[in-house]
Amino acid sequence: MADPILPGATLGVLGSGQLGRMFAIAARRMGYRVHVLSPDDDTPTGQVADVEINAAYDDLDAIRGFVQNVDVVTFEFENVPAAAAELAAEHVPVRPAGRILYITQNRRREKTFLREHGFPTAPFEVVDSLEALRAAVLRLGPPAVAKTAGFGYDGKGQYVLQKPEDAEAAWAALNSTDLVVEGFVDFRCELSVVVARSLDGQTVTYGPMRNDHRNHILDVSVAPADVEKHVAAEAREMATALADTFDLVGVMCVELFLTGDGRLLVNEIAPRPHNSGHLTIDAHVTCQFEQQVRAICGLQLGSARQHTPAAMANLLGDLWQQGPPGWDRVARFAEVKLHLYGKREALPGRKMGHLTALGPSAEAAEALVRQAREQLLNPVSTR
């Protein structure tokens, strides 16, 4: 096994959003330096990194220069070109491996991988024409949902077809010849498990977390999820099996449907820390971001023990539309933690931060975090 990358070394991050920011905070607390590359400046990650490089992900000369000054490279989001990962791997370890990124950044490749390796999914078909789309909707539904194969997140690149006649409108709206069509699933709830896997194959898991969405964007996550013990165990086992199948080194989130008849289906995979795992910062011995640092540096993983029930609520840019949120009111909640990401512009649907509430039970934590978020809608105190 390769020698560990010890504190004092420099970690390179491709991508500069809030996930990179929280990774950088964990890394710097552990004594590492952090360099970040993305097309933007004054980014959430760049604000807390040691060095921020502004370059496009397909600028291979910039990537080559970037990796000359780091000891390992990791990713902040999936949509980094495979060529950038391949070039970086010629110089330093890339963790998770670029091939994992390549599979998971495209729904067609991801769904096909899952099916070929025996992991259960919703029924789906790959289509490349309007005629194929119509036929798939007839076989799988309706209703059914058509999704662009690449570059989709938070509900982007999706179209719900309520009847076969919707195919033409969906085809025009999605404007792609690489689509995945999924049959609707009668699910009881949506769950996620975050799994960390080390260089020597050690794994730890968080969750499952129960996730509630609003307008296709994660709204609230609660842990532990209110599901049967055998369901929780199966969800963790499935996430661990996926990490082993990928030979993952790093952190990965497995999003799942729990169906009405008790089956677990894999919905999506994210080879990085995940929004639903943000509550691990405040509720677990070792958070998902520290695990990412430990894993990519070849260190032993930390304990993933949850020391208190918790709930996380996203703060979207919509909260700013009527003026500054009431931060002073949230500060009055002793068991609620505020995390803001340093984004300069608050836009509707944009993730600007989150709240985490701790409580004696998951139900109490969820009620508290929702109550605290409601207070942000009140005017800022003038006192």
SS (H, E, C) 230-281: HHHHHHHHHHHHHHHHHCCCEEEEEEEEEECCCCEEEEEEECCCCHHHCCHH
106 lies in a domain? no
315 & 223 share domain: yes
Segment 23-51, tens digit of pLDDT: 999 999 999 999 999 999 999 999 999 99
Give the residue ranges of DSSP H helices in the chain: 18-29, 60-67, 82-89, 98-104, 107-116, 130-140, 167-174, 229-246, 280-283, 288-296, 327-330, 362-375
What pLDDT shows up at residue 383?
44
Query: 155 vs 164, which has greater pLDDT?
Result: 164
160 lies in a domain? yes
Is the pTM value of this prediction over 0.85? yes
145 & 268 share domain: no
341 lies in a domain? yes
214 & 334 share domain: yes
113 lies in a domain? no
Which pairing describes strands 336-340 and 187-197: parallel, antiparallel, or unpaired? unpaired
22 & 155 share domain: no
Residue 80 burial (CB < 10 Å; 0-12/13-18/19+)? buried
Question: What secondary structure letter does DSSP report for 121?
Answer: B
118 lies in a domain? no
68 & 46 share domain: yes
Q: How many domains are there within the chain?
A: 3
115 lies in a domain? no
End-of-domain residue from the set 154, 183, 212: 183
192 & 243 share domain: yes
143 & 223 share domain: no
Full domain range(s) for residue 307: 187-375
177 & 215 share domain: no
**CATH code of the domain covering residue 140:** 3.30.1490.20
368 & 306 share domain: yes
What pLDDT shows up at residue 64?
96
131 & 252 share domain: no
171 & 209 share domain: no
Taking residues 244-264, report their average pLDDT.
Answer: 97
Segment 309-367, tens digit of pLDDT: 999 999 999 999 888 999 999 999 999 999 999 999 999 999 999 999 999 999 999 99
The mean predicted confidence, pLDDT, of the chain is 94
381 lies in a domain? no
235 & 165 share domain: no
